[in-house]
Structure 1
Amino acid sequence: MHSRLTPSTALLLTIPPLLWAGNAVVGRMVHAWVPPMTLNFLRWAIALVILLPYGGFIFRKGSGLWTSWRRFAVLGLVGVGLYNSLQYLALQSSTPINVTLVGASMPVWMLLIGTLFFHATVRGRQIVGAVLSIAGVLVVLSRGEWHQLMAMRLVPGDVFMILATISWSFYSWMLIQPKDPKEIRSNWAAFLLAQIVYGLIWSFLFVAGEWSVGDAHIAWSWALVAALLFIAIGPAVIAYRCWGTGVQRAGPGIASFFNNLTPLFAAIMSSAFLGEPPHLFHAAAFVLIVGGIIFSSRR
């Protein structure tokens, strides 16, 4: 049973979209400097070092990191390994605005996955809100030209982001399953660190494949170092902390609609830093998405 959406919970769920929009913009800025899988691995390796002083006790023998390894291995896969890698991969061929707007289909996937795999109850308003959100996503996918939907003019980045959103939906539902050792569950740093440990194992496998099949390289610079520090501290540590707490308070269904604020922040940041101003169809898509948030959250 989840509590009502309080102002403090709303703030917790608003911080991640802001930081994730920054993550999308920075990921686009550095896409020519570092391969996407490698970027994700470096990001979480830095986050692990940051969290070690606060949750390093999980490495001791007999801790929940080892006894509950299956759960943390799955959380690490869908939350750390797949979601972020797929998003950075999407940014290789798509813009931050498009990527975050496609990610606004999350309420649809959250409802479907919750119903099919986690025995969640779906309310009528959630369905209407999800329909409005997916309509906004379709506007983006069609580039504002509805007849293009018949031709399915998807760039690879759009498809990768849809897969990333499905992965994140599984992750969010798993967060509220009471299956974690108390010593880890009661310490947010330890809980995130346990996911990162296994997530880095998955990410390393993805990096190995990336460097073995392609012409991967890293163009090191101080700008890249600054970008890595930002995405490790903000979109990783801080955003995951806020999202995890917010989901546990409000539930995945309500939390998923806050994710739809990401396109607004991404549009503002893209215009400011990348010279990629939003188009009219982006505005139409955002109106539909916000309508979905308002309608689904009404009581």
Structure 2
Amino acid sequence: MSKYRVWLLLVLCNLFWAGNYVFGKYVVAEMPPLMITFSRWLVASVLLLIIAYFYEKPQWSLVPKEWISLLAMAVLGMIGYNTILYAALEYTSPTNASLVSALNPGIIVIFSLYMLKERISKIQSIGLVVSLLGVVVILTGGRLTQILHVSYNRGDLLMLAAVIMWTFYSIIGKRIKNIPPITTTAVTALIATIIMAPFAIVQGINYTELSPLALQGIAYMIIFPSVGSFVFWNIGVRQISASKAGVFLNLMPVFTAIISWSLGERITLAQISGGILVFIGVYLTTGMLDIKLASKRQQKGTA
């Protein structure tokens, strides 16, 4: 798969996740975080298994050999991250949640350097800083010093825990070599569903009492953030490094702003400026500039 296609998948992945922040705020008002997570993966796991069976034709006999990693991914990425994310949205705004999640790329880079022995160039390091700066511009309305005065509530702290879980989920996913990415996502989703089932049965919920908006939100979460995003993310992490894939998470606040604007909120100059910085940062961190510079040096060397 070409790098450009991988980058497109990671962009779409974060577009879908941005919608999860927006719709999650509405759905969590009617459903407990655990039930939202269980409802997502109950249906998504079936869809993912079907897609994996026909598209990847995996060797299912290899799955039990990776059961420890798959179990860890299910607990951290499917159950932990999503349940804590929805719990956080009960206490904080999607904007604050995005602010905390903006720490994700940096944390992934730091952990990848030590745990996966990955390396990034100086240009990619600059790209990481630029993209983070863009996120800060978006979330502070262009008043950069405002970041020092943000009051973090319980929801913000929960989001920090979610970020840590997603970091380990991504690193563990990078280490799985023998199982195709969609199959990995499908199996971990199934494991997560099985683990949550007893708790969901005890908690219970009457879906007929949910509003049309909540039902639409759940449908969106199943199709796009659950199936689309997780498949695209696992493909991206396999094809490029976890640290490079992680910087695409900085696109999430940009897309969140765009979705909010489409729902009637005013988009500001700071959001536009910050969005430009984020895209520049992503461009640098993906290594595209490194490739072009290396190509030019090679051409000069052969000339």
Shift of 1:232: 0.8
1:252 counterpart letter in structure 2: A
SS at match of 1:176: helix
Residues 94-243 of structure 1 mapped to structure 2, 5 A cutoff: 94-139=92-137, 145=143, 148-180=146-178, 185-186=179-180, 188-201=181-194, 203=196, 219-243=209-233
Tell me how far apart the structure 2 counterparts of residues 269 and 51 of structure 1 sit (CA, whole Å): 26
Deviations 1:85-124 (A, max 9, x none): 2222232233334433442332211111101222222322
Deviations 1:14-66 (A, max 9, x none): 21112111222211222211122221111111112323445589xxxx94444
Tell me how far apart the structure 2 counterparts of residues 84 and 289 of structure 1 sit (CA, whole Å): 24
* Bigger Cα displacement from structure 2, 94-103 vs 107-116: 94-103
1:44 counterpart letter in structure 2: W
Shift of 1:7: 2.4
Q: 1:196 to 1:178 in 2, by over 3 A?
A: closer
Higher Cα radius of gyration: 2
* Bigger Cα displacement from structure 2, 278-287 vs 260-269: 278-287
Which of 282, 292, 298 is 1:293 aligned to? 282
Listed as ranges, the gaps of 5+ residues in structure 1 are none
Q: 1:84 maps to which residue? A: 82
Is 2:241 the counterpart of 1:251?
Answer: yes
Q: Could you say what the CA RMSD is over the residues aligned between the two structures, in angstroms?
A: 3.3
Residues 3-22 of structure 1 mapped to structure 2, 5 A cutoff: 6-22=3-19
* Bigger Cα displacement from structure 2, 7-16 vs 101-110: 101-110
Tell me how far apart the structure 1 counterparts of residues 150 and 213 of structure 2 sit (CA, whole Å): 37
Instruction: State the number of aligned residues.
Output: 282
TM-score by length of 1: 0.79
Q: 1:259 to 1:72 in 2, by over 3 A?
A: same
SS at match of 2:38: helix
Q: 1:261 to 1:207 in 2, by over 3 A?
A: same
SS at match of 2:102: helix
SS at match of 2:90: coil
Deviations 1:232-254 (A, max 9, x none): 11111122112211221122222
SS at match of 1:68: helix
Tell me how far apart the structure 1 counterparts of residues 141 and 43 of structure 2 sit (CA, whole Å): 37
Tell me how far apart the structure 2 counterparts of residues 279 and 90 of structure 1 sit (CA, whole Å): 25
Listed as ranges, the gaps of 5+ residues in structure 2 are 55-59, 291-303
Q: 1:193 to 1:94 in 2, by over 3 A?
A: same
